[in-house]
Amino acid sequence: MARAALQLIDLCRHYREGDARLDILAGASLTLYPGETVALIAPSGAGKSTLLHVAGLLERPDAGEVLIDGQPTSRMNDDLRTRLRRNSIGFVYQFHHLLPEFSALENVVLPQTIAGYSRKEAAARAHELLSYLGLGARCSHRPGELSGGEQQRVAIARAVANAPAVLLADEPTGNLDPRTADHVFATLLALAHGSGLAAVVATHNLELAAQLNRRVTLRDGQLIELD
């Protein structure tokens, strides 16, 4: 069997609110293999964003382990975590967060040059990705000249530009109309399956969630398989 792209093992995460302790994650575990897609379905406030932040090495858990492509991360220093996050994890959010002064192509080139790719390599990869996502003719357009769906597809291209092992998406179609959401979701899934990318997608949209390989929810701080 292939090595897991992402493993979450007994994750715990709590916060303090005055004298009260809020346990957001309480032994959450999940294993995800290359090319596998998982929908994370849970009500607001259940801890979806916290789980994605911990899985994406943006927050440290209070206990438990996150393995990215087989590498345990709990004992890594911040520099190593940043490097691993940059090279092995892609993020897509509800709002695209594109840099408005740069073109679609430049927004996808930037993370690659930060990772050490030459400008020529990065531009070729960016053009390939944008063309795959149906945006080949829009490469020179700035975000303000693109529709909401086009902006989000650029954000997806940016997220996978460094060929990460894992894609974490937090309500990636939550700001789009239903028809555009369907199209963006379809391109995201095609990209995941075509490139062997493991993806966790937090969504409230049950119809979209049904298209993924598995569905999980957060209940009392633990990840529970649905279906």
Q: Which domain holds residue 217?
A: 6-226
pLDDT at residue 205 in the model: 82
DSSP per residue, 200-218 = EEE-S-HHHHTTSSEEEEE
d(CA 198, CA 166) in angstroms, rounded, equals 5
Looking at the DSSP bridge assignments, the partners of residue 28 are 11
In the numeric block, which tokens belong to residue 147?
Answer: 């529709």
Contacts of 45 by beta carbon, 8 Å cutoff, 6+ apart: none
Taking CA atoms, 116 is separated from 9, 83, 110, 125, 160, in Å, by 31, 11, 10, 13, 15
Residue 17 lies in a domain: yes
Mean pLDDT of the region 80-84 = 91
Residue 1 lies in a domain: no
Residue 88 lies in a domain: yes
Contacts of 35 by beta carbon, 8 Å cutoff, 6+ apart: 192, 193, 196, 197, 198
Residue 72 lies in a domain: yes
Q: Where are the beta strands (DSSP E) in the chain?
A: 6-17, 20-32, 37-40, 63-68, 71-72, 89-92, 166-170, 198-202, 214-219, 222-225
In the numeric block, which tokens belong to residue 82?
Answer: 């940043």
Amino acid at 181: A
Q: Is residue 116's pLDDT more than 90?
A: no
Q: Is residue 1's pLDDT more than 70?
A: no
pLDDT at residue 95 in the model: 73
CATH number for the domain harbouring residue 74:
3.40.50.300
Q: Is residue 99's pLDDT more than 80?
A: yes
Residue 194 lies in a domain: yes
For residue range 2-39, list pLDDT tens digits in order.
Answer: 789 999 999 999 988 888 888 899 999 999 999 899 99
Q: Is residue 105's pLDDT more than 90?
A: yes
How many distinct structural domains can be found in the chain? 1
Residue 209 lies in a domain: yes
Residue 174 lies in a domain: yes
pLDDT at residue 103 in the model: 95
Residue 40 lies in a domain: yes
